[in-house]
Structure 1
C-alpha cells in the first residue's frame, strides 16, 4: 500500500502542475471492478459525458480492476487527495456514514422503482452529503442489483429450505442476522475463497446478484438460484472533498450533471448484464426459482427491529423511506 500512496501522491502533484500550465484538469478515478462490469461501463459514460460537457477541461483517467487497492484503501486515497473519485458499495461506506447501513435492510424497498425514487430524491441526496465530514462527497448511486440465494445441494423455495444450510455472507452483521433469521447458518468468508468452498461442501451456498453469480463462475458449482431478492445495496460514486474544493462552481456542475447522466445509463447496462447472466446460468443447467418473496420478508422483520434497537437514531430515516 505504501508504494501506491507514493505513486498516487506523485500523480496528484502532476495533476496540479498540469492545471497550472494549461486548462485541463485530470481526475483520477479508481475502482475494484473488472472492465466487463456494468458499473465500469457506467463510469466510462461518466468519463465521456464529463469531457464533452467541459469541452476537454476536465478529463478522467480510470484505474479499474483494483489496480490501486481495495475499496477501503481507495477511500483513504480520496481522503488524502491522491485520487479524486471512486466507486464503492454502500456497505463499505457504512463504516464511515452510518446512514448507509439503512440501505442494506432486507426488503426495505417495495420495488426497484421505489428504491430509485428514494435514492434519487431528497432522502438519497441527503445521505450522499453526509459523507462530507469524512472528506467523501457522494455524487450518485449506481444500480448494483438485488442479492439472492444460490445453493449446491437443494433448491430454496421457502425460508424453511434454508434450515441446516451453511450460507456464505459478507462479514457484515446485518447480513449475518438476516440469514440466521431465515433459518440458515450464516458463514462469513472471503469472496475469493467461495468457489472452492462451495465445490468442496465447506458451505452450501451464498447470496449475490446475477452478474456476480456468473462472473465469479459460481454457476458452475451452484445449480439452484432463488430470486428472493432480499437486499438491494447500491454502489455509490464518491468524490474526495479535497479534490472537490479545487473545482470552480461551473466545474462542480459539470461533474454532478455528468454523474447523474451516467447513473441513468448504468441502469440500462445493469439490466442488460442481468439478462445476459441469467441466460448463461440457464445454459449451464442452473435452475432459476421465483419464490413467494413475502415469506422471506416476514422472516426478516426481526432484523429491522434489532437494527433500530441498536440505532434508534435511524428510526425516522427508515420511516421516511418506507413512506416514500
Structure 2
C-alpha cells in the first residue's frame, strides 16, 4: 500500500475545501412561466443553457413551465417575496406591481413585429423598460417579442358585432379589459391556468392570447375559431428578484445581464417561425383562422387607439412613460 505523504494529504484537503466552497457558492435560480413550449419557454431554455456554459455551475437553473409554481398572481407574489427567484411573463401581468407596465399594451403603438423589435432592442428603450420595476424589488433581465394578440371564441367572431355579449378572458391590464368592454364583450381577467376549465364549463366564451399558446395547449379541442384582431402585440419580460440578484458576484450579474440581452435579439427569428408553425398547427387541429373585413379592422384600431390613449392619460406617471415610448416608436418607425 502506497503511503500517503503530507503533501498529498494537504492537496486532497485543499481540493475538498475548494469543492465545498464552490458548492456553497452555487446559487439556485428557479425560472417560472405560465406557458409551455412557446417563446417564453424557449427563452428560459436558452438562458439556462447560456448560464451553464458561461458560469460553469455557479448558478443552477431550474425551469418550471406550465404554472408548476402556481397561478400567475401567485408567481408574481413569489417573485416579489423572493420565494421564486425569477419569472417570465407578458408585461400585462405585472401591471398590478407598477401601472406603468401597461404602456406596452397600448393599441396601435407597434405597427408590426419588426417595428416592435426595433423599439424594444433600442439601448435607451431597453434600459428604461427593464428598470421600471426596480423600485418594487424586481430587476428586468429580458424584454422580447411574444406574439400578436388574437381572440379565441366558441362562437366565431367574424364581425365586430359578434363581440357583443361574449365573456372574454383578458390579461390583467385596463388596455385589454376596456377594449373588450368597448366592443360589447364582458372582460374577465383570469390566470392562464384557470382558463381551460372555465372555457370548457362555459364560464367564459373565449380569451385573448397569442396563437402559440393556444396551439401548444391544444385549445382547438375546446373551441375552433381564432380571429386575428391584432390590436396590440404581446411583449414578454424576464424578471428576477432584485435582492437575490444583488447578492450574486459581479461576474454572475454581468453574465446574467449580457446573456439576457443577447437572447432577446437572437430569439426574434425563432419566434416569427414559431408563430407560423402555430398557425399551421391550429388549422391542422381543426381550428379556423378568421380576419375582420378591412374596414372593420381599420375602424376597430382607430377606436381602440383613441380609447387606449385616454386610459394612459388618466395617470400622470403612466402617461409620461407612454409618451417616452411613443416618441421612441415614432423615431424607430
Classify 1:190/1:57 alpha carbon distance in 2 versus 1 (closer, same or farther; 3 Å).
closer
- Indicate the larger mover: 221-230 or 18-27: 18-27
The answer to whether the 8 A contact 1:31-1:71 is kept is no
Q: Where do 1:90-109 residues align within 5 Å?
A: 90-109=91-110
The answer to whether the 8 A contact 2:171-2:208 is kept is no
Counterpart residue number, 2:279: 278
Q: CA RMSD in A?
A: 2.9
Give the SS at the match of 1:144: strand
Counterpart residue number, 1:10: none
The unaligned stretches of length 5 or more in structure 2 are: 1-17, 329-333
CA distance in 2, matches of 1:277, 1:67: 23
Give the SS at the match of 1:263: helix
Counterpart residue number, 2:150: 148
Classify 1:98/1:155 alpha carbon distance in 2 versus 1 (closer, same or farther; 3 Å).
closer
Counterpart residue number, 1:220: 221
CA distance in 2, matches of 1:155, 1:45: 37
Classify 1:66/1:192 alpha carbon distance in 2 versus 1 (closer, same or farther; 3 Å).
closer
TM-score normalized with structure 1 length: 0.82
Task: Report whether the alignment pairs 1:287 with 2:291.
Answer: no
Q: How big is the shift at 1:129?
A: 0.9
CA distance in 2, matches of 1:71, 1:185: 21
CA distance in 2, matches of 1:188, 1:318: 23
Q: How big is the shift at 1:139?
A: 0.7
Q: How big is the shift at 1:177?
A: 0.8
Q: How big is the shift at 1:188?
A: 4.3
Counterpart residue number, 2:208: 207
CA distance in 2, matches of 1:35, 1:202: 24
Give the SS at the match of 2:238: strand
Q: Can you list the C-alpha shifts for 1:99-132, whole angstroms capped at 9, x where unaligned?
A: 2111122222111122222222212321211211
CA distance in 2, matches of 1:97, 1:188: 17
Task: Report whether the alignment pairs 1:299 with 2:297.
Answer: no
CA distance in 2, matches of 1:88, 1:73: 13
- Indicate the larger mover: 288-297 or 73-82: 73-82
The unaligned stretches of length 5 or more in structure 1 are: 1-17
Task: Report whether the alignment pairs 1:58 with 2:62.
Answer: no
Counterpart residue number, 2:22: 22
CA distance in 2, matches of 1:264, 1:54: 21
Q: How big is the shift at 1:202?
A: 5.0
Q: How big is the shift at 1:245?
A: 1.5
- Indicate the larger mover: 234-243 or 176-185: 176-185
Question: How many positions carry a matched residue from both structures?
Answer: 307
Task: Report whether the alignment pairs 1:233 with 2:234.
Answer: yes
Q: Where do 1:111-122 residues align within 5 Å?
A: 111-121=112-122, 122=124
CA distance in 1, matches of 2:192, 2:82: 29
TM-score normalized with structure 2 length: 0.80
CA distance in 2, matches of 1:65, 1:185: 26
Classify 1:188/1:85 alpha carbon distance in 2 versus 1 (closer, same or farther; 3 Å).
closer
Classify 1:75/1:313 alpha carbon distance in 2 versus 1 (closer, same or farther; 3 Å).
closer
Q: How big is the shift at 1:232?
A: 2.0
Q: How big is the shift at 1:178?
A: 0.5
CA distance in 1, matches of 2:191, 2:136: 27
CA distance in 1, matches of 2:210, 2:118: 21
